[in-house]
Amino acid sequence: ASSTQPIRATLFPGDGIGPEIADSVKQVFNAAEVPIEWEEHFVGDKVDPRTESFLTWESLESVRRNRVGLKGPMATPIGKGHRSLNLTLRKELGLYANVRPCYSLPGYRTRYDDVNLVTIRENTEGEYSGLEHQVVRGVVESLKIITRQASLRVAEYAFHYAKTHGRQKVSAIHKANIMRKTDGLFLKCCREVAEKYPEITYEEVIIDNCCMMLVKNPTLFDVLVMPNLYGDIISDLCAGLIGGLGLTPSCNIGEGGIALAEAVHGSAPDIAGKNLANPTALLLSSVAMLRHLELHDKADQIHDAILKTIADGKYRTVDLGGTSSTTDFTKAVCNNL
Amino acid sequence: ASSTQPIRATLFPGDGIGPEIADSVKQVFNAAEVPIEWEEHFVGDKVDPRTESFLTWESLESVRRNRVGLKGPMATPIGKGHRSLNLTLRKELGLYANVRPCYSLPGYRTRYDDVNLVTIRENTEGEYSGLEHQVVRGVVESLKIITRQASLRVAEYAFHYAKTHGRQKVSAIHKANIMRKTDGLFLKCCREVAEKYPEITYEEVIIDNCCMMLVKNPTLFDVLVMPNLYGDIISDLCAGLIGGLGLTPSCNIGEGGIALAEAVHGSAPDIAGKNLANPTALLLSSVAMLRHLELHDKADQIHDAILKTIADGKYRTVDLGGTSSTTDFTKAVCNNL
Ligand SMILES: CC(C)[C@H](C(=O)O)[C@@H](O)C(=O)O
Ligand SMILES: CC(C)[C@H](C(=O)O)[C@@H](O)C(=O)O
């Protein structure tokens, strides 16, 4: 037994394949002797009036108390009178920045072999305001809201991230030639923050052009910061370049230093319970969580073991063209620690 | 001299490299003996109060009269008190659908060799409403407007296009899980139209997932129809797959059967006047114009000559890694007619 107290972290295994890939993380953490004690929380089976969603109040309290958590895929039950699970988490925990590093995995070939960038997405407003209404029959409108406060906060986060992670450039992605006021304000805030980081190159790229450049030559980018919807789109595009959402980590940064790492892929109900799921995205997200806790040795050790297992190519799950089970892949990662 | 009257069409050479690539089209049309008589119109040097932009009233009248036109790149002059040239054209001519076919060009290698899809973009509303305002200091909003009328119209166009062009599937691209009312209405309209085309497969794909699938495997798609901004983003992404906007045609369909074909790339002021521009996008757009006029023989002849010239690889402009001038490339296309 170690002399230091274990760190408590909240774990949402989630639905579908969630519990299986969460088990994989637990096994790898055990094997690597990571000093984490999980507080497990499941999505409830009825709407909790205090969260207005199927998430329980206790589970949110757990993240607030621990300030750190890991989350598997959660499928929002269909129906009215409750909020989306993902949006509830973002809102209730003030998760203002979504950080998605994306890099080519040695040994897993796609059309691209040199991707290495990070998407930083404003996570609370923009097109996700939820403000929509019918003006007259057949005419509806949605409001995109951009605030100075949220834009400055995510821009600060992006530049600070770039500086502390040895990155050279921040690109602000926008459509300010059309949305002059909203995206214009976002850019203004990015420029203000950029001034404080003269050592980081700053550029502005229009979103349509950015997508074209990303598919032609992703090495043109380093850190990208952008409003909510563009982040949603571009992070998935980038994931596609290196093989898909099954291989990319994600971490949400919230008010007061909260970090909720998550696998952003779906819950894949078709293969749930069959020991076929690829735990890579959740494992890499757990590494992001460890880095947030500054447990860099453990993070490096687990990260290297995941990459080595994928590079080996001997143990690959079905989604990557292999035949390994979730547990076989997990064992291989443990053996590579 | 042919016995049939030539067809009059409006030509906007545009700015920067525009006049050079427009010359290329004129030469190829001459060589192919296309029965078109051009009415050339240039962007004015002051704001025309009747168009509220640098476009002259006469030039819009010319397109309205001829019902068909071709347009090079136009850079909107910076400053206040006037409208963007592109947006003015879309608005004044009621150009409701933007059609961008995108296919791999044999012999010009990119990471993708089997792209063959068509993006059909709603071109008049959505995030391009121009309705924006400051709510309080530091809080701004933009309105996204979706109407039943415009959604049905573009959906009709997409299904009709699919049917008349031997396409099998229409995918409606959306983010209705977040923008339930606006994108929800768009989808509802697409579903209504889909019912009338039982022979065309219909599917709905969320935009983030669509971008991931496009970069992983573009053959999953055939015809894509979507609101304005998504079309802006996805059409550029698709262009990137096959080499960029210098290689992709575009055609805008307007009320009363107007068609305005256009090169959607920039005006490249850095290489303007140097005989270095690649005329391919404008040439392919001119082919789209000929198809609209049902001059299919001429269209096929020119299309094949362009593709043959690119496939040859002997005459390639600088943007494609070659050393040919605009005029050399153009001559090669003429020789391949
Ligand atoms: C599930 C959905 C609401 C969510 C989003 O749009 O943000 C997802 O695509 C994501 O990127 O986390
Ligand atoms: C120049 C710009 C206003 C335009 C748009 O956003 O529609 C362009 O990107 C396009 O796709 O034609």
Calpha distance B257→B293 (Å, rounded):
10
* pTM for the predicted model, two decimal places: 0.96
Atom 1 in ligand 2: residue holding the nearest Cα: B86
**What is the reported pLDDT for B79?**
79
Distance (Å, rounded) from C-alpha B313 to C-alpha B279? 15
Q: Which residues in A lie closer than 8 A to residue B211 (C-beta atoms)?
A: 211, 233-234, 236-237, 240
Counting from 1 in the atom list of ligand 2, the atom nearest the Cα of B250 is 12
CB contact set of A195 (below 8 Å; sequence gap of 6+): none
Alpha carbon distance B253, B158 (integer Å): 11
Which residue in A269, A255, A279, A280 sits closest to A74, CA to CA? A269
Which residue in B has a C-alpha nearest to residue A266's C-alpha? B209
List of residues 6+ apart from A165 with CB closer than 8 A: A118
| Residue type for position B113 | D
d(CA B92, CA A100): 42
Contact B202, B191 (CB under 8 A): yes
CB-CB contact of A280 with A76 (8 Å): no
Q: What letter does residue B77 receive in the DSSP assignment?
A: P
Q: Chain B residue with minimal CA distance to A241? A: B215
CA nearest to A228 within chain B: B178
CB of A86 within 6 A of ligand 1: the answer is: yes
Structural contact between residues B39 and B11, judged by C-beta atoms closer than 8 angstroms? yes
- Stretch A10-24: mean pLDDT, rounded? 97
Tokens representing B317 are 């402009």
Burial label for A166, CB within 10 Å (0-12, 13-18, 19+), is exposed
What is the position in ligand 1's atom list of the atom closest to the CA of A235?
11
Chain A residue with Cα closest to B213: A240
* pLDDT of the residue at A303: 98
Query: What is the residue with the minimal CA distance to atom 12 of ligand 2?
Result: B264
> Candidates A53, A232, A236, A245: which one to mutate for ligand 1, based on the most atoms within 8 Å of Cβ?
A232
Residues shown for chain B: 337
Give the Å distance between the CA of A206 and the centre of ligand 2. 10
Predicted local distance difference test score (pLDDT) of residue A1: 45
For residue B236, the chain A residues in CB contact (below 8 A) are 208-209, 211-212
Quote the CA–CA distance of A226 and A151 in Å, as a whole number: 9
Kindly give the confidence (pLDDT) of every residue in chain B, 337 residues in length, as a single tens digit, with 9 standing for 90 and above.
Answer: 455 789 999 999 999 999 999 999 999 999 999 999 999 999 988 999 999 999 999 999 999 999 999 999 998 888 778 888 999 999 999 999 999 999 999 999 999 999 999 999 999 999 999 999 999 999 999 999 999 999 999 999 999 999 999 999 999 999 999 999 999 999 999 999 999 999 999 999 999 999 999 999 999 999 999 999 999 999 999 999 999 999 999 999 998 899 999 999 999 999 999 999 999 999 999 999 999 999 999 999 999 999 999 999 999 999 999 999 999 999 999 999 9
The SS3 assignment for B21 reads: helix
CA distances, A94 to each of A64, A255, B117 (Å): 10, 5, 40
- pLDDT for A224 beyond 60: yes
DSSP-derived pairing of the beta strands A259-262 and A68-71: parallel
What is the spatial distance between Cα A324 and Cα A318, in angstroms, rounded to a whole number?
7
Structure token digits, residue A136: 């007259």
For residue A189, the distance in angstroms to the closest alpha carbon of chain B comes to 10
Cα-to-centroid distance, B154 and ligand 1 (Å):
27
Give distance in angstroms: CA of A22 to centre of ligand 2. Answer: 44
Measured between CA atoms, how close is A86 to chain B, in angstroms? 11
- 3-class SS letters over chain A: CCCCCCEEEEEECCCCCHHHHHHHHHHHHHHCCCCEEEEECCCCCCCECCCCECCCHHHHHHHHHHCEEEECCCCCCCCCCCCCHHHHHHHHCCEEEEEEEEECCCCCCCCCCCCEEEEEEECCCECCCCCEEEEECCEEEEEEEEEHHHHHHHHHHHHHHHHHCCCCEEEEEECCCCCCCHHHHHHHHHHHHHHCCCCCEEEEEEHHHHHHHHHHCHHHCCEEEECHHHHHHHHHHHHHHHCCHHHCCCEEEEHHHCEEEECCCCCCHHHCCCCCCCCHHHHHHHHHHHHHCCCHHHHHHHHHHHHHHHHHCCCCEHHHCCCECHHHHHHHHHHCC
Contact B297 CB / ligand 1 (< 6 Å): no
Whether the Cβ atoms of residue A281 and residue A265 lie closer than 8 Å to each other: yes
Cα-to-centroid distance, A42 and ligand 1 (Å): 19
What percent of chain A is predicted at pLDDT more than 70?
Answer: 99
Six-digit token pair at A13? 């295994």
Query: Where on the phi/psi map is residue B215: left (φ > 0), alpha (ψ -120 to 50), or beta?
Result: alpha
Q: Which ligand is nearest to the CA of A91?
A: 1
How far apart are the C-alpha atoms of B147 and A134, rounded to whole Å? 10
Ligand nearest to the CA of B237: 2
